[in-house]
Amino acid sequence: MAEKSRPSTLSVYLYVPNIIGYVRILMNCYAFAICFKDKYLFSLLYFVSFVCDALDGWFARKLNQVSTFGAVLDMVTDRISTACLLVVLSQVYRPGLTFLSLLALDIASHWLQMYSTFLEGKSSHKDVKDSSSWLFKLYYRNRKFMGYCCVSCEVLYIILFLLANNQTENLIEVLLNVSTRNWLYNTLLPLSLGGWAIKQLINIIQMKTAADACILYDIAKKQ
């Protein structure tokens, strides 16, 4: 029987979900290049790129083109995109440390989770069946719940960017005065705040869980 052919390196790079990932990167590069010139076009491009994050996963499963490279590309693109938006917000609002702290939490949480995944020999960072936190397991097992939390974060950050009129905004004042804006902001802001808060809590749980896994790995090696 002939040996089943394996995909070449080039063919993996050209997987449809990975091509979508490259398009997302280009879209975000252009979006951030014009973010202060055209805030609405930036917001549209950024959100379309975010939606494509779900699209590439669908194609990966549908076309049987799941790859480790694709998973890493997807996560790196997500983290860099969110990080860049948080950096922009830190320059627009005061105190800027608020957004830089959120950036640090996001990166540390996901980096530790990926690293602990490889240490434990798991195939996916979403494999959290051994976690003691029901919220953490719900987040990674329920796509709708995860989607709500992730969309809420991105929508909240986009709204805050659109609400800023200059580069010295006071975050608390803007949030308190949002009622004077149009009905769309008044509707989306409370909805997104809930999902955003849950996402930050999950980031903290994820960071602690992943850190524990790293420590347990060291302890096991010494026994």
Q: Known catalytic residues?
A: 78
Separation CA 196–CA 181 (nearest Å): 21
Separation CA 113–CA 105 (nearest Å): 12
Phi first, then psi: give them for residue 177, nearest 5 degrees. -95, 10
Burial of 58 (0-12, 13-18, 19+ CB in 10 A): exposed
Determine contact, residues 189/162, Cβ cutoff 8 Å: no
Separation CA 66–CA 74 (nearest Å): 11
Separation CA 210–CA 136 (nearest Å): 12
